[in-house]
DNA sequence: AATGAATGAGCCTTCATTCAT
DNA sequence: GATGAATGAAGGCTCATTCAT
């Protein structure tokens, strides 16, 4: 199978080459300002080649998003394999999420861009379906960590895990969004002085989710 | 001056007519998929008419955003005029923000759309400058409420007001963003079952910002 | 008739007001870059008012051209009324032509602009017909001066007057055209150093049209 | 390298195909009335294709002009390679100029069109720079012929060569301009009866530039 | 009579996508 | 498989002209 194997490997390489270029370009110029030509040029490939690997621009975007999710899920698995308590695992998961989404080039942009049209994802696209199931999996993983934390006492047990997960998830996204917003403001805006670090938001909320010391064990 | 007055009034009406149509279309199709023609058609006006009121598409967008901010600021003033304590004012402000941003057609989209390109706002556009100063004013108002709350004891005094404001602000935005995301997911996604109500996120975080009962004040 | 008279006079004033503005704007921005709005604004009139006096942009242009021709013809009449010999009259006529065509704002542009489309002038327009007959009259006047010069011995008699007139006419136009060309060249172009004065060209050609002294055929 | 070669050749062909169409259309309708769509249709190409070869309308015009200049310069070189005296070379150069500028479709129009706006040429366009240097070269060549004529006795030595060149140049342009003007006049205009041949104007002026027979040298 | 708001045809230009090589 | 020339739909914007006031 060596020939077929090589073929397969080369095809995979090309695909990744394109995805990397797309990630870079989409994130840099924004989804609708990025052109297929930009991507092809940056990937050092012909424009037509892109269409051998992706049906259209939308599917290419989905491919990028799925790629990001995959590496994120891989990192999630690492975290889950560790021996931290639930709270710490949760913190680590969220940080991994924030990092993957926000590392330049800002992957977060890609995801958000797509949400803005309000059109449901095209279920016919392979990557689109993969992307949706990945979202569910990411969310479920976070919920799992919360439940673990509640079981091992590192997190308040009174919050439904999905509610808690959602709060954390949205808080992180809000922080990431702020960083995009900040870029559009002039340097002298009062909002420009904030770091908007996701880790701070995570820590703050996690703090609120820790069990209240049975205060007032009070005599 | 009835003639000049009527002219002025009519002009204002047209402008609002266009802004309403633009708000609707921009929010429905997303900033870059919305065309000036769409807006004109929805406003039941000729394409050229839009350009009598707005220099270009960008300024039209800014006009919409400024309009939203203005009504939000008006609501803010109402809140500030009330006699609630700082914490309650803060909650009311944030709810007003969430409501204004999220009422269909989703105004939030507009703001976010513009952030995605990463281009700084064109300072030459009148509305653009107005928009930036409004952002600052909105943020400052929230900070003010926090400080009031810290002064009257309804909020923990140990958080810098700007940090706290930023946390609340980003949390609300994250929630709003989630609602956009949810629309792109199929109805059977696990995330679709969440309400994603901004008020819940606000309440949760405010709770974390309330003064800890002077635990152990007890002797 | 004082009322009707005043009406008539005012109407004439308005018309001239518009023509002046049009002359200025057309010459400054070029025919196709000049907008009706530009003209109206410069005339301190409403845009619609222009259409009360001129059927459309084309007729307005024709009106301007006819106006220029009229003042040129008036000047021609002055020259013809003088007591110069034919050659001197001819020189004076050509100079008057060059000056009228080239005085800033460059009227010459207007005439040339219109020639470029290659479309015959719209015979239905009143001004268009007037313009054409004026051209003929201008040309005829020049021919007349040549014939006078040939009769009074100040010009060579061997050139058909129409041929001679055409040569002078085109030479002057060529000079005027050169001045337009020069404006488009960078200051360091070798052509930029020339004055391109029409009077020099006129003098040179007139010199060639003077009778050759029966040079020393005589002993 | 037959493949690369063929590509190159085809590209050149397409470019010329477009230039031909553009020359035709620009000359027929005038610069500002001609649309890119007109050009594309006449070239039997898609509209977008034009932009693969020319950055924009302006550069396309420049391309046409440069093409005309190039063939004119080639003809100039032929003339200069001959063994005529200076006066005859000069006559041949001017005739070549007139022919190239005036052959239908009238190239002259193109050049003139551009001069009318009074905007300096966009130095950033490649073809624009080429065009300017070609103008200088054309002019210099004419000057050179004059100087040769003055040296070999076929032309009067008392005229500065640049002055003489300018007079000839403008006279030819004036003639060409007249032909454009004539097209706009009705067939019954008195001016319509003239041939307006450039060669006649050239001959006339050259005659005036020939040395005066050493009149009366004769005893 | 004068106005200027409204119109929409039409322009230049871009870019996702196709297809012959 | 890889390419990039070609395409044409579509977009933002302008402006001559009309018409209700």
Given this structure, which CATH class describes domain C57-209? mainly alpha
From the list B166, B171, B184, the residue facing A121 with the nearest CB is: B184
B115, B121, B207: residue with CB nearest A180: B115
Q: Alpha-carbon distance A40 to B47, whole Å?
A: 35
Helices (H) and strands (E) in chain C, counts: 9, 0
Task: Tell whether C2 is within 8 A of chain D (Cβ).
Answer: no
Q: How confident is the model at residue A218 (pLDDT cuts 50, 70, 90)?
A: very low
Q: Give tens-digit pLDDT for D12-43.
A: 999 999 999 999 999 888 888 999 999 999 99
Alpha-carbon Rg for chain D, nearest whole angstrom, is 20
pLDDT band at B216 (very low <50, low <70, confident <90, very high): very low
User: What pLDDT score was predicted for residue A73?
Assistant: 92
User: B207 contacts in A (CB within 8 Å)?
Assistant: 208
- Look at residue A32 and tell me whether its pLDDT is greater than 80: yes
Cα(A103)–Cα(A101) distance, integer angstroms: 6
- Using CB atoms within 10 A of its CB, is residue B30 exposed (0-12), middle (13-18) or buried (19+)? buried
Q: Show me where the domains of chain B are located.
A: 1-53, 57-209
**d(CA B135, nearest CA chain A) in Å:** 9
The pLDDT, as a whole number, for residue D216 is 45
Contacts of C46 (CB under 8 A, 6+ apart): C40
- Rounded to the nearest 5 percent, the helix, strand and coil shares of chain A are 75, 0, 25
Chain D neighbors of C164, CB-CB under 8 A: none
The CB density around residue A52, as the number of other CB atoms within 10 Å, is: 12
pLDDT confidence of residue B218: 41
Report the run of H or E that residue B22 belongs to, with start and end. Answer: helix B2-29
Provide the CA C129 to C1' F2 distance, Å, integer: 65
Question: From D122, which residue of chain C is nearest by alpha-carbon distance?
Answer: C184
Residue at the smallest CA–C1' distance to nucleotide F17: C56
Contact D218 C216 (CB under 8 A): yes
Region of residue C112 (left: phi > 0; alpha: psi -120 to 50; beta: else):
alpha
Instruction: Assess D186–C contact: CB distance below 8 Å, yes or no.
Output: yes
Q: Please say whether the structural domain D1-53 has been given the CATH code 1.10.569.10.
A: no
pLDDT at A45: 95
Architecture of the domain spanning A56-209: Orthogonal Bundle (1.10)
Residue of chain A whose alpha carbon sits nearest to that of B109: A116
Contacting residues of D for C208, CB less than 8 Å apart: 204-205, 207-208
Angstrom distance (rounded) from CA C45 to CA B31: 39
Number of CB pairs, chain C paired with chain D, less than 8 A apart:
172
* C1’ E5 / CA A55, Å: 47
Residue D117 CA, distance from chain mean position: 19
Residue A92, CA distances (Å) to A65, A84, D45 in order: 21, 9, 58
Report yes or no: A104 at the B interface, CB cutoff 8 Å. no
Say what the pLDDT of residue C98 is.
Answer: 92
Mean pLDDT of the residues in chain D = 87
**Do residue A208 and residue B213 have CB atoms under 8 angstroms apart?**
no
Residue C149 CA distance to nucleotide F7 C1' (Å):
66
The residue among D33, D45, D72 whose CA lies nearest residue D172 is D72
Nucleotides of strand F lying closer than 7 angstroms to a protein CB? 1-20
Output the DSSP codes for chain D. Answer: -HHHHHHHHHHHHHHHHHHHHHHHHHHHH-TTT--HHHHHHHTTS-HHHHHHH-SSHHHHHHHHHHHHHHHHHHHHHHHHHS---HHHHHHHHHHHHHHHHHSTTTHHHHHHHHHHT-PPP-TTSHHHHHHHHHHHHHHHHHHHHHHHHHHHTSS-TTS-HHHHHHHHHHHHHHHHHHHHHHHHS-TTSGGGG----HHHHHHHHHHHHSPPP-TT---
Nucleotide nearest to A34 (CA to C1'): E15
Backbone angles phi, psi at B175, to 5 degrees: -65, -45
Kindly give the residue spans of alpha helices, DSSP state H, lying in B30-160.
Answer: 36-42, 47-53, 57-81, 86-102, 107-116, 126-151
pLDDT at position D109, please?
83
A203/A209 Cα distance (integer angstroms): 10
Residues A158 and A179: their CA atoms lie apart, in Å, by 32
Contacts of B191 in chain A (CB under 8 A): 135-136, 139
Quickly count: other Cβ atoms within 10 Å of residue A153's Cβ.
Answer: 13
- Distance in angstroms: CA D14, C1' F15: 34
| Token pair recorded at residue D154 | 């076929």
Residue whose CA lies closest to nucleotide E7 C1': B46
pLDDT per residue as tens digits for the range D142-187: 999 999 999 999 999 998 999 999 999 999 999 999 988 888 888 8
Closest CA of chain C from D76, distance in Å: 19
Is 60 exceeded by the pLDDT of residue B67?
A: yes
- 3-state secondary structure at position D163: helix
Which one of A31, A139, A183 has the shortest CB-CB distance to B190? A139
Q: Do C171 and D174 touch (CB under 8 A)?
A: yes
Ramachandran category for residue B196: left, alpha or beta (phi over 0 → left; psi -120 to 50 → alpha): left
* Chain A CA closest to residue B115: A181
Query: What's the number of CA atoms in the CB half-sphere (13 Å) around residue C141?
Result: 25
Of the given ranges (A155-159, B126-130, C176-180), which has the lowest mean pLDDT? B126-130
Rounded CA-CA distance A13/A44 in Å is 13
Q: Which of D33, D139, D215 sits opposite C117 (nearest CB)?
A: D33
Q: How far apart are the first and last CA of chain A?
A: 76
Residues B150 and B90: beta-carbon distance below 8 Å: no
Rg (CA), chain A: 20
Predicted pLDDT at A190: 81
Higher pLDDT, B214 or C210: C210
Give me the residue label for tokens 């327009």. C125
């Amino acid at each position: 199978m060596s020939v077929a194997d090589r073929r397969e490997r080369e095809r995979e390489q090309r695909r990744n080459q394109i995805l990397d270029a797309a990630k870079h370009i989409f994130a840099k110029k924004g989804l609708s300002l990025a052109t297929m030509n930009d991507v092809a040029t940056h990937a050092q490939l012909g424009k037509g080649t892109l269409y051998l690997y992706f049906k259209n621009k939308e599917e290419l975007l989905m491919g990028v998003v799925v790629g990001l999710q995959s590496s994120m899920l891989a990192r999630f698995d690492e975290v889950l394999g560790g021996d931290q308590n639930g709270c710490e695992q949760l913190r680590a998961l969220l940080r991994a999420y924030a990092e993957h989404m926000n590392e330049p080039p800002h992957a977060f942009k890609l995801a958000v861009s797509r949400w803005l049209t309000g059109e449901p994802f095209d279920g016919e696209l392979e990557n689109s379906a993969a992307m949706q199931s990945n979202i569910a999996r990411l969310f479920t993983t976070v919920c799992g960590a919360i439940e673990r934390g509640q079981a091992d006492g590192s997190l308040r047990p009174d919050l439904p895990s999905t509610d808690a997960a959602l709060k954390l998830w949205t808080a992180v996204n809000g922080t990431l969004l702020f960083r995009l917003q900040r870029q559009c403001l002039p340097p002298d805006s009062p909002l420009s002085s904030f770091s908007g670090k996701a880790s701070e938001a995570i820590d703050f909320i996690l703090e609120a989710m820790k069990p209240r010391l049975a205060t007032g064990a009070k005599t």
